[in-house]
Amino acid sequence: MSNSKLAFVFPGQGSQKVGMLGDLAESYTVVKDTFAQASEALGYDLWKLVQEGPQEELNMTEVTQPALLTASVATWRVWQEKGGAKPEMMAGHSLGEWSALVCAGIVDFTDAVKLVRMRGQFMQEAVPAGIGAMAAIIGLDDSLVEEACTAAMAAEASNAQDIVSPVNYNSPGQLVIAGHAAAVERAMALCKDAGAKRALLLPVSAPFHTALMKPAADRLAEHIQSTAFESPSIPVVHNVTAQTLTDAEEIKAIMVAQIYSAVRWVACVNALTSAGIGTTVECGPGKVLSGLNKRIDRALNTLSTDSEDALSATLLALPEAGE
Structure pTM?
A: 0.95
What confidence score (pLDDT) does residue 81 get? 96
Which has the closest alpha carbon to 168: 226, 100, 240? 240
What confidence score (pLDDT) does residue 323 get? 35
Higher pLDDT, 185 or 323: 185
- Whether residue 158 is predicted with pLDDT greater than 90 in this model: the reply is no
What confidence score (pLDDT) does residue 203 get? 82
User: What is the tens place of the pLDDT at every residue in 86-116?
Assistant: 999 999 999 999 999 999 999 999 999 999 9
* Range of weakest confidence among 141-145, 160-164, 229-233: 160-164
Q: With pLDDT > 90 as the criterion, what percentage of the chain qualifies?
A: 91
* Range of weakest confidence among 56-70, 89-103, 154-168: 154-168
Region 122-136: mean pLDDT is 92
Region 139-156: mean pLDDT is 93
Q: Buried b / exposed e across 229-243, counting CB within 10 Å, b at 16+?
A: beebebbbbbbbbbe
Q: Choose the catalytic residue: 93, 209, 261, 304.
A: 209
Dihedral (Cα; 76, 82, 83, 89), 10-degree rounding: -20
Contact 246, 76 (CB under 8 A): no
Contact 34, 70 (CB under 8 A): yes
What confidence score (pLDDT) does residue 321 get? 40
What confidence score (pLDDT) does residue 86 get? 96
- Whether residue 289 is predicted with pLDDT greater than 80 in this model: the reply is yes
209 has catalytic annotation: yes
Domains (ranges, CATH) in the chain? Answer: 5-126+212-317 (3.40.366.10), 132-204 (3.30.70.250)
Region 299-313: mean pLDDT is 95
Provide the mean pLDDT of the chain. Answer: 94
What confidence score (pLDDT) does residue 129 get? 81
Contact 207, 213 (CB under 8 A): yes
How would residue 157 be classed by pLDDT, with cut points 50, 70 and 90? Answer: low
**Going along 139-290, which residue ranges are E strands?**
164-171, 174-180, 198-201, 236-237, 277-282
DSSP state of 263: B
- Whether residue 241 is predicted with pLDDT greater than 60 in this model: the reply is yes
How would residue 1 be classed by pLDDT, with cut points 50, 70 and 90? Answer: very low
Backbone φ and ψ of 118, nearest 5° = -65, -40
Region 303-315: mean pLDDT is 95
94 has catalytic annotation: yes
| Rounded Cα distance, 204 and 202, in Å | 6
Which has the closest alpha carbon to 315: 71, 110, 86? 86
| Rounded Cα distance, 73 and 87, in Å | 14
Q: What is the DSSP string of 60-71?
A: SHHHHHHHHHHH
Q: With pLDDT > 70 as the criterion, what percentage of the chain qualifies?
A: 96
User: What is the tens place of the pLDDT at every residue in 114-124?
Assistant: 999 999 999 99
CA atoms within 13 A on the CB side of 139: 9
Q: Choose the catalytic residue: 15, 39, 72, 94.
A: 94
Region 250-262: mean pLDDT is 98
| Rounded Cα distance, 10 and 305, in Å | 11
